[in-house]
Amino acid sequence: MQFDWDYAAGLLVNGDFWKAVGTVVELSVETWLLGIVFGFVLALARQSSNRALNRGAALYIWFFRSLPLLVLLIFVYNLPQVFPSTSVLLSNPYAAGLIALVLSESAYIAEIHRGGLLAVAKGQLEAGKALGIRYTGVQRLIVIPQALRVALPTLANEYITIVKLTSLVSVISLSEILLVGQQLYTQNFLVMETMLAVAFYYVLIVTVFSYLLRRLEQHLDVTRRQPKAIVDGPAQPAPARREAAPRQGDFALRVFGARKHYGQLEVLKGIDLDIRFGEVVSIIGPSGSGKTTLIRTLNGLEGLDRGQVELCGAPFLRGREEDGGSLGNRVHMEGIVQVGMVFQGFNLFPHKTVLENVILAPRHHGHASDTDLRASGLALLSKVGLREHAGKYPHQLSGGQQQRVAIARALAMRPQVMLFDEPTSALDPELVGDVLKVIEDLAREGMTMVIVTHEMKFAFQVSDRVVFMERGEIIQAGAPRELLDNRSERMGRFLKDVQLA
């Protein structure tokens, strides 16, 4: 039998086919978008520490990935036979097909999202929390944009799969491309010609949307972006300072009996530490002495087992094993905005420009208008010597520049206390000086600071007090000169090369 090319060509302008194309596009796009939303909720539940949510999401994903879509389509479409009240919705083939597709695809997309979520570094979540941004804000502003960028190539591939799966809804009599083709070749028996047209329409849809999704992927790829131009607006009056936490007494931070375990290992062994307002305290000691754990417990990024922390004279944190347990997330999040944190690994948000990194948290908390926040953000960047880099993205900066942006971001919240966790250890030696100079300037301005550092000369020059830790305990503490003049044998070995001019 000779192939009828004229008939096949005529099918390319067939009105029924093009109407079916619209149905497939609408059904596939709605399935994909709803699947992305519902799948993300499932992925978050799958990673939740709540056992019921975790198990429920895992059960859903297991079941709907195991169930053939064809079986699910028939079941959903015929559900009104068991529950007549559902006939209002499910008697419509389009609605039944959409529901079945979303139920099935959400299970697959949830695992794609989970991969994207796992790719977002833990430090990004900690940076958001340290800025006082709660869980939903961290997800919306920090995690979702990064996770979607990672997952988008796989999500695009899943959309193509959905387009082809729409052919299965023909079993419930939805007039999509394959069903139109079947109706035609049962009338004229020109199967090959008709199926060639069916293939053309599916290839067309996939080609168009592959191009659009590829453009979206390129748009979201921050490594392709050029620095944004930052144009200074008209001079604005200095924004009003956010009301600070009331000061009670002389101490910005007080730690009482802090204890912390990781399994059987006790990393903090009853630490007591007072930090006065305006004081600069450096914490030094060998690796593994508990320095980083201590500074992370000062703002609650690590919970205490026992002990408590006071911030500006008010209760801030309490160990979970203390009477009454921890103080709760509300008290913690209300106080954490008063404690700025600068991390060893910078933890800048890669999808935000330098200026956007600096003003993200104050904007989220509604501290001022966008105009005032922008003005204060640019002023802070000038303070750390990076005003001309305001429109760049973090990957376009050196390590030292990124760390200075991180300092400006923490200062933008106008904290009472600044914590530095080995701020120069991830930097090349020639970049260390610029970061240390910014910290020295803050010390001269009277900023209360706690600094974990291996830069011994810097620590003894800039600090009002130096704390030496080893094996989870404070061995010695005092003014720099006092410590050097009265060092113990162990501290003497640690500080053998430190000299003060």
More confident residue, 163 or 483: 163
Please give the Cα distance from 325 to 110 (Å, whole number).
35
Q: Is the pLDDT of residue 234 over 60?
A: no
Please give the Cα distance from 416 to 246 (Å, whole number).
10
Mean of pLDDT values over 120-144? 93
Mean of pLDDT values over 183-193? 86
Q: Is the pLDDT of residue 338 over 50?
A: yes
Q: What is the pLDDT of residue 202?
A: 92
Architecture of domain 251-494: 3-Layer(aba) Sandwich (3.40)
Q: Is 48 helix (H, G, I), strand (E, B) or coil?
A: coil
Q: What is the pLDDT of residue 281?
A: 94
**Which tokens hold the place of 408?**
């400006």
Please give the Cα distance from 213 to 159 (Å, whole number).
9
Assigned superfamily of 5-221 = MetI-like (1.10.3720.10)
Q: What is the DSSP letter of 309?
A: E
In this prediction, residue 240 has a pLDDT band, given cuts at 50, 70 and 90, of very low
Q: Is the pLDDT of residue 294 over 90?
A: yes
Q: What is the pLDDT of residues 397-416, one digit of tens each?
A: 999 999 999 999 999 999 99
Mean of pLDDT values over 15-38? 94
In this prediction, residue 237 has a pLDDT band, given cuts at 50, 70 and 90, of very low
Q: What is the pLDDT of residue 241?
A: 42
Contact 417, 449 (CB under 8 A): yes
Place of tokens 């990076």: 386
Q: Is 314 helix (H, G, I), strand (E, B) or coil?
A: strand
In this prediction, residue 239 has a pLDDT band, given cuts at 50, 70 and 90, of very low
Q: Is the pLDDT of residue 120 over 90?
A: yes
- Short-list 20, 31, 36, CA closest to 216: 36
Q: What is the pLDDT of residues 416-446, one digit of tens each?
A: 999 999 988 878 877 888 889 999 999 999 9
**Which tokens hold the place of 240?**
């009003």
Q: What is the pLDDT of residue 413?
A: 93
Mean of pLDDT values over 288-308? 91
Mean of pLDDT values over 103-110? 96
Sequence ranges of the domains in the chain: 5-221, 251-494
In this prediction, residue 69 has a pLDDT band, given cuts at 50, 70 and 90, of very high
**Which tokens hold the place of 270?**
């009853």
Mean of pLDDT values over 167-178? 87
Contact 413, 131 (CB under 8 A): yes
* Percentage, residues of the chain above pLDDT 70: 95
Please give the Cα distance from 145 to 132 (Å, whole number).
19
Q: What is the pLDDT of residue 380?
A: 94
- Name the amino acid, one letter, at 133: I
Which ranges of 139-273 does DSSP label H, i.e. alpha helix? 144-165, 177-188, 191-220
**Helix and strand counts by DSSP (H, E) for the chain:** 20, 10
Q: In what order do the strands lie in the sheet with 265-276?
A: 265-276, 251-262, 306-311, 314-318
